[in-house]
Amino acid sequence: MTKSAILTDLTQCIGCEACALACKEINELPKDTPLHLLTASTWSAVEHRNGVNIRRQCMHCEEPACVSACPVAALEKTASGAVIYDAGKCMGCRYCMVACPFAVPKYEWDKSIPTIQKCILCYETALSRGAEPACTSACPTGATIFGERDALIREAQNRIAAHPDAYVNHIYGLREAGGTSVLYLSAVPFAELGFPANIMEDAYPKLTWKVLSKIPNIVSTGGVLLLGIWWIINRRIKLQDDHPSSV
């Protein structure tokens, strides 16, 4: 399976929200909620800011923070590139929401048994059958297109090279958070469009893994150390009891 991705060229987006509606359609999400904001019932949104229409969705990171954060492996980065979610495994701790640097996972705050809600790149409905996600196929202008990640990166580079004055020289998602499967081109610097500006270029899971990978060492050294201390002290006390005069 090739690693699929999405390239969204914000200069071509007319803000028609066809992608957002197509997403609701295929994922059977409630239609009565605003389309400009990612929520539990809007997995793909179009925000209008500073005169730019900004398509928002899960970034499908190459090394997702949410996947590393989930204690029960309910979130998974598939070989296809999609980060998918298994509500049956989820216990609702919301650590993925805290961990995601793009604040993508949303929650059903109005349900007594809530689940996490986010774009899964139409994994079940399209991707796993070799089809294209609903959003990109719905786009009238070709502003958001679907393809293989490397090919899309080349395409983005070509566009910037062909019209250097029409774009900022930055493919958002190429390196952000260690690289994402959703890439953006824009005429306006991304920081002005509400894209997290101080995002790390390295993958987020590495931060916690640096700590977690020390656990075996802590446990083994700590165990030996404690046992040693106990043994030494106990022995001294025993010796003291046996030969009170010699100490």
Partner 1 sequence: MKLSLPKPTFWTIVLAFIWILGIYAVFTRFYYGLGAATNLSDQFPWGIWIGFDILVGVGLAAGGFVVAATVYIFNLKTYKPIARSTILTAFLGYLLVIGALMIDLGKPYNVWHPLIMWNHHSVMFEVGWCVMLYTTVLFLEFLPVLFERFRLERPLRIIRSITVPLVIVGVLLSTLHQSSLGTLYVIVPDKLHPLWYSGLLPLYFFISAIAAGLAMVIFESYLSARAFGKELEFSLLAQLSRIIVLVLGLYLMVRVQDMSSRGALQYVFDGSQESLYFLLEVGLGVLLPIILFLTPKIRNNTAGLFLGAVFTLLGFVMHRLNVAITGMTRSAGVEYVPTWMELAVTASIVAAGIVIFRYAAKYLPIFSQEEAFGVHPPPLVSAGKSGRLAMGLLGVLLLAILIGLGFGWMQEKPVDLHLRIESAVAQPASTLELPLPIVYEMGEASPGAVTFSHENHIDPSAPQCKTCHSGIFKMRPLKAGALGSVQMDLLYEKKQCGICHNGDDAFNVEDNCEVCHVAIDE
Q: How far is the CB of 163 from partner 1 (least distance, A)?
A: 13
Torsional class of 177: left (φ above 0), alpha (ψ -120 to 50), beta (otherwise) = left
User: Tokens 């914000």 belong to which residue?
Assistant: 10
DSSP 32-78: SS-SSS-BTTBSSEEEEETTEEEEE----BSS-HHHHH-TT--EEE-
Q: How far is the CB of 179 from partner 1 (least distance, A)?
A: 17
Q: How far is the CB of 4 from partner 1 (least distance, A)?
A: 20
Torsional class of 134: left (φ above 0), alpha (ψ -120 to 50), beta (otherwise) = alpha
C-alpha 68/C-alpha 62 separation (Å) is: 12
In the complex with partner 1, the residue whose CB is nearer, 2 or 37, is 37
Three-class DSSP category at 8: strand
Q: How far is the CB of 44 from partner 1 (least distance, A)?
A: 13
Which residues, 6 or more positions from 233, have their beta carbon under 8 angstroms from its beta carbon? none
In the complex with partner 1, the residue whose CB is nearer, 47 or 148, is 47
In the complex with partner 1, the residue whose CB is nearer, 75 or 121, is 75
Q: How far is the CB of 83 from partner 1 (least distance, A)?
A: 14
Q: How far is the CB of 13 from partner 1 (least distance, A)?
A: 10
Q: Residue 233 corresponds to which amino acid?
A: I
Three-class DSSP category at 166: coil
In the complex with partner 1, the residue whose CB is nearer, 112 or 246, is 112
In the complex with partner 1, the residue whose CB is nearer, 2 or 234, is 234
In the complex with partner 1, the residue whose CB is nearer, 1 or 237, is 237
CA atoms within 13 A on the CB side of 130: 0
